[in-house]
Amino acid sequence: GAGVSQSPSNKVTEKGKDVELRCDPISGHTALYWYRQRLGQGLEFLIYFQGNSAPDKSGLPSDRFSAERTGESVSTLTIQRTQQEDSAVYLCASSLVWGDQPQHFGDGTRLSIL
């Protein structure tokens, strides 16, 4: 499809395990954004990429979180040594360039830490 694609759609894992979440942005979109949405809360900005560069990583909750992007395509968000408070929906969005609005969102990955 032509939209933002995220995988897996659901992930259940044990506390302490590492997880990797994937985002395929809309083709041609150079900017990519990661957000976290905890139950009943709004979206929390984590990190954005312009191309494969991430100028601002200050939104990442801890050093267990990291993100990479290959060129201007796929991005992965990795959470190491998962904790129960990491349980949330992780949403990815993309736009033509950074700052361009609106952002187009994927369906998210629902992460549950047991």
16-20: long-range contacts, CB 8 A cutoff, minimum separation 24: 16/81, 16/82, 17/81, 17/82, 18/78, 18/79, 18/80, 18/81, 18/82, 19/78, 19/79, 19/82, 19/111, 20/76, 20/77, 20/78
Q: Does 53 bind other proteins (CB under 8 A)?
A: no
Judged by CB under 8 A, the stretch of 20-28, 42-50, 65-73, 80-88 that binds other proteins is 42-50
Shortest Cβ 70–other proteins spacing (Å): 22
* Residue with Cβ nearer other proteins (53 or 101): 101
8 Å CB contact between 109 and 89: yes
The only residue of 35, 49, 65, 90 in contact with other proteins, by rule CB under 8 A? 35
Amino acid identity, position 77: L
The interface with other proteins within residues 61-90 (CB under 8 A) comprises none
* Residue with Cβ nearer other proteins (37 or 80): 37
Q: Does 59 bind other proteins (CB under 8 A)?
A: yes
